[in-house]
Structure 1
């Protein structure tokens, strides 16, 4: 695409990963779009103390507008955003989501695109399909696209069944400028480390795939990172380190013998939803053990580039037989794969191609009308 696009993006937060798993995803996509010459303005609400827990200052690769939790201010920002070529409403902004979902559809013009970007499609689909009265049901057909964080064909089929004109997965990927191999740090030494916030639809799987293996292997050291686990009853061989800032992710991934990925229930149900964490860890050359989800082989080769466990007992068995040499070989293979196929440049190229084709179609329609 030769023309520079102005993109307005309403999301949870791009400057803070605090209680915000989508931060790395947003940063990778937006940074890659900037490199392609596009201009992105990211609008985020000042909520959940995220601004007090920033990982980055305002970047030079996008304009960040932090707004108060106030509808009048938001209405003014929507008027400004209406001047953009592409207007994106992400799911899970955290403030005035229903209001934004409706108001963005009102900004549709002949020469622009409006997009709903679902960073938790399984949860959204479960919600709307269980409640026909959910107001978002009527809005889905009004968006030019629904983009999703993952989900593959099951999510595509579900969204199009619910009226989406077109649904396209834009998967998580690796931001090579942020996540890369570093020297190990003693504070993160362990046989297995897991990083993830405590969420209702993840906790049971954490108990099975992380806490139970720790109980089964009492002589091995485990590390738990993420917000919300402070009052969780855990074995003595699990060290809880709390929220791990982005700047420490590489050491967290590089130091342990292996790192664990645990899908949320909804993500595991639909499959084809590799978490941001998987690509972060692979980008640091980590040996990844993941719970099973459909579609893994579309991203990594099980046994060679990633280790797959279908139960907590399988995690225990994998760790018991995992040598440092084998772990390093698997991490090296995963690192090679993500650089070749799964960077945010790869994802942004797909996004640019999709947007370009649609805008060309719309411009041609306008010219025909004239």
Structure 2
């Protein structure tokens, strides 16, 4: 097996507060390291993550912090000598970071977009917060959280030489089935987002109003002060990743809510989808193209667009039917969507890009001479 030296510049590995990047990177990089690869993760030191740090010393990679863009010079040799350097979405000053990496790296460079529909929407309106159109063709691989037709857009419109789906996943060891007393009939775990809130209102808040005898929970930071919550909706500000399994285990059902840009793009599963399924907790989800390629509607996941559909499930489904739905979803996720599956996919795509680069270099040298 080829041992790769990989440098990752991502939004956060150390803190899961207010972002889904950390849990995604943790599962993926742990599995990637288990395949024998060496990883250095470089994280921009920012106060809001420093104040909510829940991973300080990962045992599967080196975690280092840099304070400003110029501070990356301390890692010049590591970036220059890496077999692959991966820059993530939403990295502060991401365009400048990308330019720096593309200029310095002797190995391949890749972009890992954990927010693909949001990224493409930003590019279309000229918002180059962390990626610009000019950078895309010079990333050897564009790893995308979104699959389907979006990959053709990344290559056809923006000139990526290789756009590859790299969905989020789950580490089964970190998300086991737990036997706990049910505390809520329906829960939701997610940071506040204005474009998710209408769906949350429709599929959880309104059902809570219509079924005051049932219990609900909304967990996650950044919800506006003064948000009116029904009395039977419990608010939890933050659930650390190591407490996610217990949260799901205490939920008869959990809700999956997708951001508007991701619904429009389709093929954009949330990490919470995989986590909840791995824990055996039945999922009620909003509807978007491609979800049927991950979990079979009606058999492994329930889809809803109206509050009465949610109330009907919560009020009428027998316990054995509920358990069977969760068990089938868990089997599907463990068979196809673990971190080990994603790590193998990323390894294959990186090695393919490295091989292509080596095949092209002799020709480039001949032209230069």
Question: Is TM (by shorter chain) over 0.5?
Answer: yes
Q: How does 1:142-181 map to 2 (within 5 A)?
A: 142-149=138-145, 151-160=146-155, 161-181=157-177
Q: Aligned to 1:49, what secondary structure does the other structure show?
A: helix
Choose the corresponding residue for 2:288, options 279, 288, 293.
293
How far apart in 2 are the matches of 1:133 and 1:348? 29
How far apart in 2 are the matches of 1:172 and 1:72? 31
Deviates more, 1:338-347 or 1:226-235: 226-235
CA drift of 1:365 comes to 3.0
How far apart in 2 are the matches of 1:182 and 1:153? 34
Task: Determine whether 1:262 maps to 2:261.
Answer: no
How far apart in 2 are the matches of 1:17 and 1:27? 10
Count of aligned positions: 362
Choose the corresponding residue for 1:91, options 89, 92, 101.
89
Match of 2:302 in 1: 307
Q: Aligned to 2:81, what secondary structure does the other structure show?
A: coil
Contact 2:169 2:271 in 1 (8 A): yes
**For each residue in 1:238-265, what CA deviation from the matched residue of structure 2 results, as whole angstroms up to 9, or x when unmatched?**
0101101111100111121101110011
Contact 2:102 2:138 in 1 (8 A): yes
Contact 1:205 1:264 in 2 (8 A): no
Task: Determine whether 1:198 maps to 2:192.
Answer: yes
Contact 1:7 1:41 in 2 (8 A): yes
Q: How does 1:99-248 map to 2 (within 5 A)?
A: 99-109=96-106, 112-131=107-126, 136-149=132-145, 151-160=146-155, 161-185=157-181, 189-229=183-223, 231=225, 232-248=227-243
Contact 1:86 1:114 in 2 (8 A): yes
CA drift of 1:103 comes to 1.6
Match of 2:18 in 1: 19
Change (3 A) 1:268 1:332: same
How far apart in 2 are the matches of 1:312 and 1:75? 53
Q: Aligned to 2:143, what secondary structure does the other structure show?
A: strand
How far apart in 1 are the matches of 2:163 and 2:331? 29
Contact 2:66 2:72 in 1 (8 A): yes
CA drift of 1:79 comes to 5.0
How far apart in 2 are the matches of 1:185 and 1:77? 49
Q: List alignment gaps of at least 5 residues for structure 2.
A: none
Choose the corresponding residue for 2:323, options 323, 328, 345.
328
How far apart in 1 are the matches of 2:38 and 2:347? 13
Match of 1:29 in 2: 28
How far apart in 2 are the matches of 1:25 and 1:16? 11
Q: Aligned to 2:51, what secondary structure does the other structure show?
A: helix
CA drift of 1:364 comes to 2.8
Match of 1:317 in 2: 312
Contact 1:230 1:240 in 2 (8 A): no
CA drift of 1:297 comes to 1.1
Change (3 A) 1:311 1:331: same
**For each residue in 1:124-174, what CA deviation from the matched residue of structure 2 results, as whole angstroms up to 9, or x when unmatched?**
10111222988701111111111112x222211221122111111101112
Structure-1-length-normalised TM-score: 0.93
Contact 1:32 1:344 in 2 (8 A): yes
Q: CA RMSD in A?
A: 1.8
Match of 1:65 in 2: 64
CA drift of 1:54 comes to 2.2
Q: Aligned to 1:126, what secondary structure does the other structure show?
A: helix
Structure-2-length-normalised TM-score: 0.93
**For each residue in 1:159-203, what CA deviation from the matched residue of structure 2 results, as whole angstroms up to 9, or x when unmatched?**
1122111111101112112111112156xx011000001112222
Contact 1:107 1:114 in 2 (8 A): no
Q: Aligned to 1:82, what secondary structure does the other structure show?
A: helix
